[in-house]
């Protein structure tokens, strides 16, 4: 059934972020769509972001293109050069290698719902977090001096 | 600006389909998002499908994963095994190589709006149309006996 039965796909707010960077994503409830749809090249998550929650720590990817479609509600897109309100029907895209950290913050009083998709070289991908002492690669997370955080990055 | 200014992206209903297969997509008005966002690996279109219009001829891809997010309105997903109503907030995904032809038909009296994304090997990709005497590859369109149609497939 190509139309996804979203209710049948497990929803989680799990994160591999080391403390204290995990607290801002506690209200991020996501479903991984690619495994449910047997997609191997396009990955996507269906996300419900509770009021106050962030989509991630602000980051950018070296090897992945990302695109987000806001389905309902609203959130604030934060980037190096400022903030942009993202409303239902808006589309946001980030090209691989563009070193402009981005994330969404739900500052409204209602959940927002979006789908975020990505494509690229998942094994080679790495990137950096803009506001905290953290970088990532396929293996996990490290400080910007290279010291690994003792955590596992979730797929 | 990662939030796409959709109004600034050219919208077209152009198709490379040979007649008479082009008539059903005349009411498909789309914007190519990857060029606008400088994405090289993830491709996507923002589509307004007028009442009566189809998203494409019913088809499947050998080498591309596809995913569709319905933003507003509704359409009927048609596949080998039947029809499914797709409503705002629904997500539909098709894995590369699954030989189950699919398309959307807007049978409602209002436009519907969706974003469809894909990823995979665009150069190698090919596929077939389920209901008509046509196949496709990177070069264009042919009958199922291999005779080429004298048209150019649009990127």
User: Looking at residue B134, which CATH number applies to its domain?
Assistant: 2.60.120.10
- pLDDT value at B1 more than 70: no
Helix (H) or strand (E) holding A69: strand A64-72
Decide if A71 and B69 are in contact by the 8 Å CB cutoff.
yes
Residue of B nearest to A93 (CA): B2
| CB atoms near residue A112 (< 10 Å) | 23
Q: Residue A2: which pLDDT band, with cuts at 50, 70 and 90?
A: confident
Mutation to test the A interface, candidates B5, B59, B117, B125, most A Cβ within 10 Å: B117
Mean pLDDT estimate for chain A: 97
User: Which residues on B lie below 8 Å from A90 (Cβ)?
Assistant: 3-4, 6
Give residue A149's pLDDT.
96
Q: How many CB atoms lie within 10 A of CB B110?
A: 11
Integer Cα distance of A127 and A99 in angstroms: 9
Give the Cα-Cα-Cα angle A12, A16, A17 (nearest 5 degrees).
Answer: 115
ipTM value: 0.96
Q: Is residue A52 part of a domain?
A: yes
Instruction: Give the integer Cα–Cα distance in Å for B44 and B118.
Output: 6
- At B90 the pLDDT is 98
Is A86 strand, coil or helix? strand
Q: What band does A152 get if pLDDT is binned at 50, 70 and 90?
A: confident
B13 located within any domain: no
pLDDT digits (tens, 9 = 90+) for B96-143: 999 999 999 999 999 999 999 999 999 999 999 999 999 999 989 999
Q: How many CB pairs under 8 A join A and B?
A: 143
Q: How far is A90 from chain B, CA to nearest CA, in Å?
A: 7
CA distance A66 to B76: 28
The helix or strand, by DSSP H or E, that contains position B144, with its residue range, turns out to be none
Q: What is the pLDDT of residues B47-77, one digit of tens each?
A: 999 999 999 999 999 999 999 999 999 999 9
pLDDT (mean) for B32-46: 97
What pLDDT is attached to residue B140? 94
- What is the β-pairing status of strands B103-105 and A127-129? unpaired
Contacts B78 to A, Cβ<8 Å: none
pLDDT band at A26 (very low <50, low <70, confident <90, very high): very high
Contact at CB, A115 and B33, closer than 8 angstroms: no
Q: How many residues does chain A have?
A: 155
Q: What is the pLDDT of residues A61-113, one digit of tens each?
A: 999 999 999 999 999 999 999 999 999 999 999 999 999 999 999 999 999 99
Q: What per-residue confidence (pLDDT) applies to A1?
A: 61
Q: Which domain holds residue A92?
A: 18-137
Please say whether the beta carbons of A46 and A33 come within 8 A.
Answer: yes
- What's the total number of domains in chain A? 1
DSSP state of B66: E
Answer yes or no: is B25 within a domain: yes
Q: Is residue B2 part of a domain?
A: no
Nearest CA in chain B to A46: B91
- Which residues have C-beta within 8 Å of that of residue A146, sequence separation ≥ 6? none
Confidence of residue B152 (pLDDT cuts 50, 70, 90): confident
Under a CB-based contact definition with an 8 Å cutoff, are residues A9 and A33 in contact? yes
- What pLDDT, on the 0 to 100 scale, is given for residue A155? 80
In this structure, is residue A29 part of a structural domain?
yes
Residue B147 lies in a domain: no
> For residues B35 and A88, what is the distance between their CA atoms, to the nearest angstrom?
22
List the one residue out of B59, B57, B52, B101 whose CA is nearest residue B75. Answer: B52
In a domain, B155, yes or no: no
Do the Cβ atoms of A41 and B115 come within 8 Å? no
Contact A42 B117 (CB under 8 A): yes
A136 contacts A153 by C-beta, under 8 angstroms:
yes
Instruction: Look at residue B93 and tell me if it is in a domain.
Output: yes
């Amino acid at each position: 059934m190509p139309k996804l039965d979203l209710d049948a796909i497990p929803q989680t707010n799990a994160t591999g972020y080391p403390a204290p960077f995990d607290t801002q994503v506690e209200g991020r409830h996501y479903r991984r769509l690619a495994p449910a749809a047997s997609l191997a090249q396009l990955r996507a998550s269906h996300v419900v972001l509770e009021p106050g929650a962030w989509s991630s720590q602000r980051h950018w990817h070296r090897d992945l293109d990302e695109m987000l479609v806001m389905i309902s509600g609203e959130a604030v897109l934060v980037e190096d050069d400022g903030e942009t309100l993202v409303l239902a029907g808006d589309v946001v895209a980030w090209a691989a290698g563009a070193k402009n950290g981005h994330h969404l913050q739900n500052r409204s009083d209602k959940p927002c719902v979006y789908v975020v998709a990505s494509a690229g070289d998942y094994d080679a991908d790495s990137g950096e977090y803009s506001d905290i002492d953290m970088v990532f690669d396929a293996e996990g997370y490290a400080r910007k001096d290279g010291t690994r955080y003792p955590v596992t990055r979730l797929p």
